[in-house]
Structure 1
Amino acid sequence: MPDLAVPRLITHVRHVDLGVPDLAAQREFYKGQWGLTEVATDSGLSFLAAEGSPEQYVVRLRQSADKRIDLIAFGAATPADVDALADRLARDGVTLVSEPGTVATPGGGYGFRFFDNEGRTIEISADVAKRAHRKVEEGESIPVRLSHVVVNSADPEGTVAFYERHLGFALSDILTHPHMGHMMWFLRCNPWHHSFAIARCPHPSLHHASFELRGIDEYMRGTGRLLRAGVEKIWGPGRHKAGNNTFSYFLDPQGNTVEYTTELERLDEDTWHPGLHDFTDPEVSDQWGTANRMDEFVARKSFNDPDKGLFLAPPV
């Protein structure tokens, strides 16, 4: 195993929850165009699953006056690990939003919530019931699972340090620029190249949420289906160097960036060493050379609107 500052108790990313001013438009997009399955609703809430994932849901939408990240949820292996993480964070002075206890969302489980260093609400849970899921078939251009979540940070160095020091995330790679310095840090909590990443930005916000498709053909079919439907494409299709995954970035109706991807790299953690990748090199941004150029327009879209939910836990 890699040399970690603290034991790694987080196993994977579960779901990303968004507060949205127009719930109806978001539900229609994620169900009708993005390819998720609505598995539960409540007053002002929609829970959406990926057909190939055992997670109860991978996206939760909540009607909200403000556009925000409600929370990002990660899994742990056991309730004892949940307790150990809560104890560690409390000892280190991190603000707990809730103490470990029963999770009151689909699938139940045992978990707690806390604020990270910039005020995002993070949930960690174990013993969540697995959803009856299925194998996504050849040619089906729908998400198999939530691949990773990337956030924008006004203090990326501090945010990376927070997740490494308190939660045991490991650094996989860094995107850098000869004049602007380090710009994005890819963090892992399992052998996938990244489940979480942090980008430099003037303000904290969602950079993008990424969804894994079955393979290259399904990824391209999904990309084409969204293009034919008139969904605004930001960047892609292409293949990144860091992580070696494909990418097609689109905007949802509220202006959040969402990605179709496939073939994210799995690392040999015993031998892996983080690399510095200069994204002014076209091969770093897109090995294929098929994507539109990464320019100020693309970067601006990825900055998103400032998150209005910092240090303000969602009501559900």
Structure 2
Amino acid sequence: MKLRSIEMVLPQAEAAANYLTDIWGAALAGIHNNTFYIRGSGTFAYLVALEEGEEKFVRSITWECESDELAALKQRLAKLELKTKPIESDDLGGGQGILVELAEGEVFRFLTGSEHVEPLQGKDLPVKLTHVVCNSIDAEASGHLVEEALGFTVSDRTKGMVFVRCNQSHHSTAFARSGFASLNHIAFEMEDVDAVMRGIGRLRDNDTAPAWGPGRHGPGANVFAYFIAPFGAVVEFSTAVEIVPDDYQAGAPEDWTWPPKRIDQWGISDKDFDGLKQAEQQFCFRRDWQPEAIS
């Protein structure tokens, strides 16, 4: 199973798409049904869908899976009282699968049979999404739920987050101990550390400094730089997330501590705590569909 994309609704979607293509460095995959589709250099049809709407919200976070993974997912969900719906995707790439709403309103979509596209050349293009993080009222409960309901695995726990994986990449999502439910940030996988640093330079050329970074995280060990996008969301350049074995032992908060005044391995950058917290509350999840039984 692989994280594929995030689907968002917002005012001035075209301006947000222009930011992601002209400044952030992604590519336009197409425009369809009042929605702008943004892709990277990899083979996914798109990474971010931006639909024009009056209010900001996240429609879904999407994973691609094999048919046997989807069947196992349906079996797990049938035993739980979560809202679900079978769906046929009309987004770029298509596919069919299910929608599921988690306990705090997060909407996850699982598709099989989606079409892939030819890769693009370009060292500064994001390759794919490496993770999408959710804010949570009860991150521990959210971590337990996705293990039980989705078959995901908790990789690590810190005082700030519960990190969750769906394959050998250390995390494809995480639940931040925020006290509220919303989108925390979207992380774009870059080709290497140089691509991350060139991305930071490109944003600085456009009068935008990182809200946090560059740095290297503890859990996952990925290099990062966070920015607050003009459309309100937190977006991250990231690379080199740790690949973990099946028997990886999840760490506890006491396993991930830093010396005073440090909040990552390098300790070279400041963090705009207030600005990031405000941006992390811009996009809540919204279910705009009626639940149906899945079979």
Same fold (TM over 0.5): yes
Distance in 2, matches of 1:38 and 1:148, equals 20
* CA separation of 1:110 and 1:48: change in aligned 2, threshold 3 A: same
Given the alignment, which residue of 11, 16, 21 partners 1:26? 16
Partner of 2:115: 129
Change (3 A) 1:297 1:155: same
Residue 203 of structure 1 is matched in structure 2 by: 180
Gapped runs of 5+ residues in structure 2? 291-295
Residue type of the alignment partner of 2:88: T
In structure 2, what is the equivalent of residue 4 of structure 1? none
The structural deviation recorded for 1:283 is 8.7
Question: Tell me, what secondary structure is at the counterpart of 2:97?
Answer: strand
| Counterpart for residue 148 of structure 1 | 131
- Name the residue aligned to 1:62: 51
Counterpart for residue 189 of structure 1:
166
Partner of 1:237: 214
Distance (whole Å) between structure 2 residues aligned to residue 240 and residue 84 of structure 1:
33
Q: Deviation per CA, 1:44-96, whole angstroms, max 9, x where unpaired?
A: 20111101x11111100011111111110011112x43243234313312111
Q: Provide TM-score, normalisation by structure 2.
A: 0.90
**Structure-2 separation of matches of 1:115 and 1:237:** 34
- Alignment-mate amino acid for residue 205 of structure 1: S
1:280 and 1:270 mapped to 2: Cα distance?
25
Aligned: 1:253 with 2:230: yes
- The Cα of 1:313 is off from its aligned counterpart by 4.1
- SS state at 2:158 partner: strand
Query: Compared with structure 1, are the counterparts of its residues 254 and 271 closer, same or farther at alpha carbon in structure 2 (3 Å cutoff)?
Result: closer
- For 2:38, give the aligned amino acid: L
The CA distance in 2 between the partners of 1:108 and 1:306, in whole Å, is 25
Query: Partner residue of 1:217?
Result: 194
The Cα of 1:261 is off from its aligned counterpart by 0.9
One-letter amino acid of the structure 1 residue matched with residue 8 of structure 2: L
Equivalent residue number for residue 62 of structure 2: 73
Q: Secondary structure at the match of 2:277?
A: helix
Cα distance in 2 for residues equivalent to 1:271 and 1:36? 33
Sort the Cα spacing of 1:173 and 1:280 in 2 relative to 1 into closer, same or farther, 3 A: same
Q: TM-score, normalised by structure 1?
A: 0.85
Task: Tell me, yes or no, if the aligned pair for 1:172 and 1:194 is still in contact at 8 Å.
Answer: yes
Of the structure 1 ranges 255-264 and 40-49, higher mean CA displacement relative to structure 2 is found in 40-49
Q: Considering only aligned residues, what root-mean-square deviation do their CA atoms show, in Å?
A: 2.1
1:279-294 aligned within 5 A: 281=259, 285-292=263-270, 294=271
Alignment of 1:39-58 (within 5 A): 39-51=29-41, 53-58=42-47
| Alpha-carbon separation, structure 2, partners of 1:132 and 1:295 | 38
SS in 1 for 2:211: strand
| SS of the residue 1:18 aligns to | strand
Could you say what secondary structure the match of 2:147 adopts?
Answer: helix
- Please report how far the alpha carbon of residue 271 of structure 1 lies from its aligned counterpart in structure 2 after TM superposition: 4.2
Report the CA distance shift for 1:306/1:203 in structure 2 as closer, same or farther (over 3 A). Answer: farther
**Structure 2 counterpart of 1:310:** 286
SS in 1 for 2:288: coil
Q: For 2:137 and 2:168, how far apart are their aligned partners in 1? A: 28
2:293 is aligned to none
Q: Structure 1 regions of 5+ residues with no counterpart?
A: 1-10, 177-182
- Same amino acid, percent of matched pairs: 29
Following superposition, the deviation at residue 295 of structure 1 comes to 6.0
Please name the residue that 1:116 is paired with: 102
Q: Deviations over 1:157-187 (max 9, x none)?
A: 22112111101111111121xxxxxx20110
Q: 1:274 offset after TM fit, Å?
A: 2.7
Contact 1:201–1:303 (8 Å) recurs in 2: no
Shift of 1:311: 3.6
User: Deviation at 1:135?
Assistant: 5.1
CA distance in 1, matches of 2:117, 2:212: 32
Q: Specify the alignment match of 1:3 in structure 2.
A: none
2:72 is matched with which residue? Answer: 84
